[in-house]
Amino acid sequence: MILTSTLQRKTLFRRTTALLATGALTVLLTAFGNAPAQGAVPPPPSGWTTVFSDDFNGAAGAGVNTSNWMYNTGPGSNFGTGEIETMTSSTQNVHLDGNGNLDITAIGSGSNWTSGRIQTPSAVAGAPAGGKLEVTASLQQPTGGLGYWPAFWMLGQGQWPENGEIDIMEDVNARSQVAGTIHCGVSPGGPCNEGNGIGSGLQNCGGCQSGFHTYTMILDRTNTSNESITFYLDGNAYFTVTEGQVGTSTWQQAYDHNLTILFDLAMGGAFPNGVCGCTTPTGATTSGGTMTVQYVAAYTTNGGGGNPPPPGGGAITGIAGLCVDDRSASTANGNPIQIYTCNGTNAQQWTFVQAGTTLHVLGKCMDITSGGTANGTLVQLYDCNNTAAQVWIPQSNGSLYNPQSNKCLDDPASSTTPGTQLQIWDCNGGANQSWHLP
């Protein structure tokens, strides 16, 4: 994927500005060793389930497992951050080391650098209602001096920052520190203070360039009236943000759904420049600094209710008590989703899956045709694929909100004619956008 979209530029620009005002920091430069793996992905604790993991086993010099990862490639000049590297899919920049580790390496000098960025191709991890999500990685930060900017983070699909971002680990200039930050709401400003976000600022991380350390985020939805995100370094909590700080609707839109997982190693840009008060990288910056990742894993606990209601099969009813229906009970991709007289058939037995905020019927998902965002784009049945076109977030007024389009599920012109295909439209709180979930 070429990183030239407005969303991607906004996201990276935000990551720059979020940490500029952190004050003077102590530089720690240590000799970087290609350390061997120290263990496999930890098994889930009792009561938890592994939903995604990679231990980066494979032959030395091989690329990443493309079932788990996609390469985000393109010049840093497109990212809006001032960073100067070009992200590539070359194994010189992104490769397995043969010892069970992933290496992301920045190579270059002057203004000519290459590096790497990988992302899960779909939104693989979310906390179920009433449950928890833990996302963790064991990694060693790069040495090499001024200009290095490693990151381990998560990103919601669709609009940024509305659909959420969680930065689990960021550091800069090979300093022995770490920062955790969330992003949500609107930009600029809003409840998450965009484009800065709400963050810990840079915290001490002793030895983080000389050995592996664990960087963890837990999204806790067990307190359904005040969910939270907590950041951990080596199992020790150092920063927490709560739903109450940003408001329920903003929080639900940002975090009550699945997100993707990313690793990247940028070079130069406004953040490292701002911290050192100089232009990075410099002539003293060493080529070949590497972020080494031992493993990454995501675990969840089972949900136990919450608001909106827990998963369960049944009818979704709208205006005049009509039911949301898969036309003719067809499972063909692209089949219309319509309103119809309630009849109790399987074509009307919907399941709301909280972790992905998706609506399922007959083994497939409610989907916006071609991922459209315009008023009047029709809604269809399609293979579940974790894309933003299949995210439906229940609102307190009964509407089903799709963050990517910034629109709601809509019964056209408040029709009560069975067979009318549903669409998306600007959210207006009308009766034709009020839906009752099973």
Give dist(CA 88, CA 238) in Å, integer: 34
List all residues 6 or more positions away from 51 whose beta carbon is below 8 Å from its beta carbon: 124, 125, 298, 299, 300
If one counts the domains in the chain, the total is: 2
In this prediction, residue 304 carries a pLDDT of: 45
Which residue(s) pair with 119 in the sheet?
A: 70, 262
Question: Do residues 287 and 384 both lie within one domain?
Answer: no
Q: Are strands 85-87 and 112-115 parallel, antiparallel or unpaired?
A: parallel
| Confidence band, pLDDT 50/70/90 cuts, at residue 38 | low
Residues 308-319 pLDDT 10s: 333 347 999 999
Domain boundary (253, 273, 301) is at 301
Q: What is the mean pLDDT of residues 75-96?
A: 91
Domain that holds residue 249: 6-301
Written as one letter, the residue type at 208 is C
Per-residue pLDDT at 194 exceeds 60: yes
Residues 105-122 pLDDT 10s: 999 999 999 999 999 998
- Quickly tell me which residue has 């000098």 as its tokens: 109
* Residue 307 located in a structural domain: no
CATH code assigned at 320: 2.80.10.50
Residues 355-383 pLDDT 10s: 568 899 988 999 999 999 999 999 999 98
- Please tell me the least confidently modeled range out of 1-15, 186-200, 292-306, 330-344: 1-15
Question: Do residues 66 and 20 both lie within one domain?
Answer: yes
Nearest to 394 by CA among 309, 302, 305: 309
Q: What is the mean pLDDT of residues 38-63?
A: 91
- Tokens read off for 274: 């701002």
In this prediction, residue 24 carries a pLDDT of: 28
Question: Do residues 264 and 231 both lie within one domain?
Answer: yes
Rg (CA), the chain: 23
| Confidence band, pLDDT 50/70/90 cuts, at residue 307 | very low
Question: Do residues 222 and 356 both lie within one domain?
Answer: no
CATH code assigned at 206: 2.60.120.200
Give dist(CA 259, CA 122) in Å, integer: 8
Nearest to 363 by CA among 344, 343, 384: 384
Nearest to 140 by CA among 296, 292, 294, 295: 292
Question: Do residues 264 and 331 both lie within one domain?
Answer: no
Residues 244-264 pLDDT 10s: 999 998 998 899 888 999 999
Written as one letter, the residue type at 43 is P
Nearest to 287 by CA among 272, 271, 265: 265
Task: Count other C-beta atoms under 10 Å from residue 316's C-beta.
Answer: 24
Which residue(s) pair with 71 in the sheet?
A: 118
In this prediction, residue 355 carries a pLDDT of: 56
Q: Could you give the percent of the chain with pLDDT greater than 90?
A: 70
Question: Do residues 260 and 377 both lie within one domain?
Answer: no
Top-ranked range on mean pLDDT: pick from 140-149, 188-197, 266-275, 401-410: 140-149
* Residue 270 located in a structural domain: yes
* Residue 308 located in a structural domain: no
Mean pLDDT for the chain? 87
pTM: 0.70
